[in-house]
Structure 1
Amino acid sequence: MVNHAEIAALKWDVRQRLTLLESTLLLTGWVRTQALVETFSISRAQASKDFAVYMSLRPDNLKYNKSLKYYEAGDAFTPLLLTGSATDVLNALQVVNPQQTPVVTLSAALPAIQVVQPLDRQLDWSVLRVVSQAIYQKRKLKAAYQSMNRNEPTELTLSPHHLVFSGFRWHVRAFSDTHQAYRDFVLARFRGEPPQLLNETAISGDHDEAWHQTIDVIIEPHPGLPESQRKILAEDYGMIDGTRCEPVRQALLPYFLRLMQIEPERQHPDPKIQQIILKNPEQVQPFLWRNN
């Protein structure tokens, strides 16, 4: 029986090493202590200790092969730290893009992995630095911002409270003195000189109702698909009784729908293409951008 308190008590660096150890066992079926030594620049004694910790938490996952001198995955291998989500392996292997091999791996014989990602967008570090400092220091900033609704940049005074990655690009959630409202601003649209950090206390994000309120997004397999195919999709998305309910911040709702390709106005009529759909569009519609 796994002691979940012991897992929760693992130090961050130990947990990372054990997660990668487990990922390698899952993907290749074996691992050596030397891999920990070389990958993390730790002593052999520390590597052996890590293996001992892992075996104490999940003893059936590892068995030592004396002839080949490495640890193999046990016949009853059951992940201890990996949850089964698609991002688990990507995070563990640190696959940044298809052209790069995993930076941190515990075995030289990993299976072939190809990752499809959207085109990487450029991020100005000077913009990110000031925006992040403004959030941390709770100060206002001034910046020129190029809206897609105007031909020329507009000078804005913002009180940022959160950075957001939408799955494709970086945004900042902020109160705009100019608009007298909380809005999202794309970091790549800040123009000219880097934003200027002001000696003015920022307006708190505590009153950003769209940020603090959540909307339940309910998805289900397209009803036009055969039952056997709907069952596969339900399993793939971890649905219960054919649906999955995901609470999403109201402010981030349009990004989530776009990322999942379930925006009501863009859903494809062919169920083979639009395999999952939004089950509760009437609850979601009022919070889409075009209705704000």
Structure 2
Amino acid sequence: MNSASLKHLTIIDFHLAFFGRLRRADLMLHGEISVATTSRALSEYREQFPDRVNYDASLKTYFAADDFVPAFSHQVRDALNFIAHGKIERFIGEARESELSQLPTLSSNLTVAIVRQITAALTLGKPIDIDYYSASSQRKVRCVYPLAIFEAADAWYVRGYDVNEADFRVFRFSRVFSASPVDADKIGANSAVPVDLDWQQYVTLTLMPHPKHANPDALKLDLGLVDKPVCNISTRKALAGFVLRTLRVDASLQAVLSPVEHSLYLANRHELLAVESMVLAPGFNAD
């Protein structure tokens, strides 16, 4: 098998593993290949791995078999970046020399087996049971509809609807012990997922140099402040606290955090008091 064919098969396997499905257009876009090449690649994959994929002619979609096991090795962060940022990794399955200059991240501890179950459930709109260890309520199994994936402070999270709690929750990938599909019909009426307003609605974060920092002019350069005193950032309500924590912004009322560790300050704290995710912002509850 030549390298081009191997790459195409790896891409097919990647989509089936992490998204649970593959359309012809997905392979054409990801592999940057023609219709004819796409047809050959799909035929070759089905010939080599007939038990791993099912084709739904009515939907014109290939679906991963219930007992699907990836035929190739994959990088977890490629799938997470694909869903969170729409970033397509063209060199999927290949070693990248540029990785040598990258700092270690917590995503290196994530396993394909767990991540792909969650990402596939998100793509297919299906519920999933996750055995999760929460910092506040210890370890237990939760039935969740994954809705969105994001990265904050070098960690990956999935936001979903917790069926048992009847509310939206954020789960850290590294704290998931296992994940397995759930039959939605067995959940009952509680499986109806309401609109996630905190994900759909946006808020503005007004940032400025920390008032106690010794060199505020240098911080103004970081914020791109030339002729204005503050910088406004728009983000989802559900992510406000995560953004402030990632940027190490002092969100306390009296700017009590160290300006060395938190060089920026949240100037519109009073406008965000009712935002649920703000409990994660540095110093938000310090006063």
With normalisation by structure 1, the TM-score equals: 0.53
Checking the alignment, whether the CA contact within 8 Å between 1:134 and 1:141 is kept in structure 2 is: yes
Q: What residue is the counterpart of 2:149 in the other structure? A: 163
Task: Please name the residue that 2:196 is paired with.
Answer: 208
Q: Is the 8 A contact 2:145 2:162 kept in 1?
A: yes
The alpha-carbon deviation at position 189 of structure 1 amounts to 1.6
Change (3 A) 1:126 1:216: same
2:112 corresponds, among 125, 147, 151, to 125
Shift of 1:272: 5.1
Match of 1:144 among 123, 131, 134: 131
Measure how far apart 1:178 and its partner are.
Answer: 1.1
Match of 1:232 in 2: 218
Q: Which has the larger radius of gyration?
A: 1
Per-residue CA shift, 1:23-65, capped at 9, x if unaligned? xxxxxxxxxxxxxxxxxxxxxxxxxxxxxxxxxxxxxxxxxxx
Task: State the one-letter code of the partner of 1:164.
Answer: F
The count of residues paired between Structure 1 and Structure 2 equals 182
Provide the C-alpha distance between the structure 2 equivalents of 1:175 and 1:232, rounded to a whole number of angstroms: 42
* Residue of structure 2 in register with 1:289 after alignment: 279
Change (3 A) 1:161 1:243: same
- Following superposition, the deviation at residue 120 of structure 1 comes to 5.5
Q: What's the C-alpha RMSD, in Å, of the aligned pairs?
A: 3.4
State yes or no: 1:220 paired with 2:208.
yes
Q: After superposition, what is the alpha-carbon deviation per residue over 1:146-197, rounded to whole angstroms, capped at 9, x for unaligned?
A: 111234x2121111111111132111110101111011011122224x3224
Say if 1:121 and 1:265 are closer, same or farther in 2 by CA, change over 3 A: farther
Q: Given residue 140 of structure 2, which amino acid in structure 1 is its aligned partner? A: T
- SS of 1:139 mapped into structure 2: coil
Paired position in structure 2 for 1:278:
266
Asked if the contact 1:121–1:169 (Cα under 8 Å) also holds between the matched residues in 2, the reply is: no
Shift in Å, 1:198: 3.0
**CA distance in 2: counterparts of 1:245 and 1:161, whole angstroms:** 27
SS at match of 1:127: helix
- Structure 2 partner of 1:179: 165
Q: Which amino acid aligns with 2:129?
A: K
**5+ long unaligned stretches in structure 2:** 1-90
**Structure 1 Cα separation of the partners of residues 118 and 200 of structure 2:** 21
Mapped pair 1:196 → 2:181: yes
TM-score, length of structure 2 as denominator length: 0.54
Residue matched to 2:77: none
Amino acid at match of 1:146: Y
Identity %: 17
In 2, Cα distance between equivalents of 1:150 and 1:272: 33
Unaligned runs of 5+ in 1: 1-93, 95-99, 104-112
Does the residue aligned with 1:234 lie in a helix, a strand or coil? helix
Given the alignment, which residue of 116, 121, 124 partners 1:134? 121
Q: Distance in 2 between matches of 1:119 and 1:154?
A: 22
